[in-house]
Amino acid sequence: MAEAKKIKAYEIGELDHYLFGQGNHYEIYKKLGSHKVKDGDTEGVYFAVWAPNAKAVSVIGEFNNWDETANEMERGEPLGIYTCFIPDVPENAMYKYSIETYSGARISKADPFANYAEMRPGTASRVTDLSRITWSDSAWMAQRKNWDHKEQPMSVYEAHIGSWKKHDDGTPDGFYNYREFAREAVKYIKDMGYTHIELMGIAEHPFDGSWGYQVTGYFAPTSRYGTPEDFAWMINYFHKNKIGVILDWVPAHFPKDAHGLADFDGTPVFEYADPRKGEHPDWGTKVFDFGKNEVRNFLISNALFWIEEFHVDGLRVDAVASILYLDYGRKDGEWVANEYGGNKNLEAIGFFKHLNSVVLGRNPGALMIAEESTAWPKVTGAVEDDGLGFSLKWNMGWMHDFTEYMKLDPYFRKGAHYNMTFAMSYAYSEHYILVLSHDEVVHLKCSMLNKMPGLGFDKYANLKVGYAFMMGHSGKKLLFMGQEFAQLREWSEARELDWFLLAEDEHVQIQNWVRDLLHLYKRNKAMYEQDNSWDGFEWVNADDKDRSIYSFIRHSKNGKKNLLFVCNFTPMARDDYRVGVPRRKQYKLVLNSDDVKYGGKGEERPLVYKAEKKECDGRPYSFAYKLPPYGVAIFEF
């Protein structure tokens, strides 16, 4: 029997081929890509790339004058992984793989596993050494292991780094770098009271207008805002300030850019070969082949890479429905049914179960969040119970019903009253997060403020009562940047938020309101610790459609600090408003939208209300409260 060739620790060996071929090499990113290593006394870089159908591959870069013949790679079987060691390659050196296809063509590709990329419009990969990154967030990482999203507050500030704020210094983009953004955003987020930040578009992408949703470098934080070390510094800084970090993650599709994953070795390597499965007709992008072990491994290891190597606290998985349904965005004749004749992608279902089991199994306290827009069952159900295993699901149904209701003239709201209560009929079928995301304030959908009916005071007052209802409703919360101070214009990635609006009282007042709601949410267990049970939510009156008033209670586990919400969605004052309550107790007013700092009239009113034995809302006790137009009152008892 032939003796197996002894390999160096950094080299691709038989076990690597086997595990990658089985789809279980969860740290394959430590082997594929470019890695600084030492071969004896010689320092250099080990390059490894999976190109199964290539005729030949070589490394081209600044260090060899982009010469296709200078550094040819050796093919490893059985998977077709090409490798080579090149001495004395400097840090940040640019490189690509020059691939000779079986048709005789030569194509140049960026490294799918590169950790750093050339600033766009350049498309080369860069050599970098992640082992130099240092962390000082051990306290955060230790407590994360015991963090349970089901019983903890979670209010998310969704942000796009490139357009949050910009430097007015004459530079072409004016981007804040990762470190500058972290320092400024931490101050703002702590002041406002959010618990997490969710960052759009971090993985490297060629086109700004894709917002980061068409990725070419899955293992590289975009160089628009700095180096991988800068990116890690940002995560570390958020953690030291007790702010969790969620990244948007895009396994649904990838672009056709010549340097990217599409037709990587001249053939469909990462995508389905059949265009009826492998292309999104609406988006003009490629679809990952979830039937290939190596492709599933690429994605699962990528999810682990962000969470384990960069300490990210969770991934929000984009466009899950487009992955699950074979006919998503496709007409008859444009899609292929599964083996049972159905429209479900069985391979993708298996992928999600594997992904979530591994990521959450290895990283207790981390989050996997599905942006899933249909009624697919058990998205957050346990894999053992045939669920997909996500931690949370974006509640797109609530978002649609809520925005459609809020757009209505208050006169017509009574006809759509149950838009606002319907979500509670399925609220505990999944673990939900309520979202008003970037998708709702682009493409002529208007900003949140300009969705509101009326003019002047009415618009701002409508938005305030809407936000209060959202904060009181069961489920975690997410709000897109700029909407917390009532941005007037739709969001654009090309300009910073309209911070100048905070020179105007109305915008400061909305910001004050959102800030106080967020802090109220974070400090009151009734708002979150029973988010997944009817024990935590109780309608007082869900049927007052003629007056368009909703009242409900959020219960804490120990019953010591419960909260009663009253929300008036019309401009009609209700001086005689009476609300039914469960006990003959005192009810303390803790948030009142009529306060001057929120744009109200500031009318003096008692802070404590004593329930009397007077039937109302089907309850034996009640108290009266002077409810102003679009009034919100939150009472603690």
Maximum Cα–Cα distance across the chain: 94
Contacts of 28 (CB under 8 A, 6+ apart): 16, 19, 20, 113, 297, 298, 301
| Element spanning 469, H or E | helix 457-472
Active site residue 347: no
Active site residue 72: no
CA distance linking residue 33 with residue 114, whole number of Å: 5
Q: What is the 3-state secondary structure (H, E, C) of 541-566?
A: EEEECCCCEEEEEECCCCCCCCEEEE
Beta strand 392-394 pairing with 106-109: unpaired
pTM over 0.85: yes
Exposed, middle or buried: residue 414 (CB in 10 Å: 0-12, 13-18, 19+)?
middle
Residue 213, pLDDT score: 94
Q: Which residue has the tokens 């970098």?
A: 128
Backbone angles phi, psi at 551, to 5 degrees: -135, 140
Write the DSSP string, 220-259.
EE-GGG--HHHHHHHHHHHHHTT-EEEEEE--S-B---TT
Residue 330, pLDDT score: 93
Q: What is the CATH number of domain 14-129?
A: 2.60.40.10
Residue tagged active-site, from 318, 401, 529, 531: 318
387 C-beta neighbours (distance < 10 Å), count: 17
Q: Is 346 helix (H, G, I), strand (E, B) or coil?
A: helix
Domain boundaries, the chain: 14-129, 153-250, 534-636
CATH topology of domain 153-250: Transcription Regulator spoIIAA (3.30.750)
Residue 4, pLDDT score: 53
175 C-beta neighbours (distance < 10 Å), count: 20
- In this chain, the answer to whether the domains covering 14-129 and 153-250 adopt an identical fold is no
Q: Which residue has the tokens 């989050």?
A: 367
Instruction: List the chain residues with pLDDT less than 70.
Output: 1-5
Residue 3, pLDDT score: 42
Tokens for 439?
Answer: 């998708």
CA distance linking residue 92 with residue 43, whole number of Å: 15
Residue 5, pLDDT score: 63
Q: Considering only the top CATH level, what class is 534-636?
A: mainly beta
Tokens for 350?
Answer: 């298996």
Residue 444, pLDDT score: 87
167, 175 Cβ separation under 8 angstroms: yes
Residue tagged active-site, from 371, 430, 440, 531: 371
**Chain segment 391-414, per-residue pLDDT in tens:** 999 999 999 999 999 999 999 999
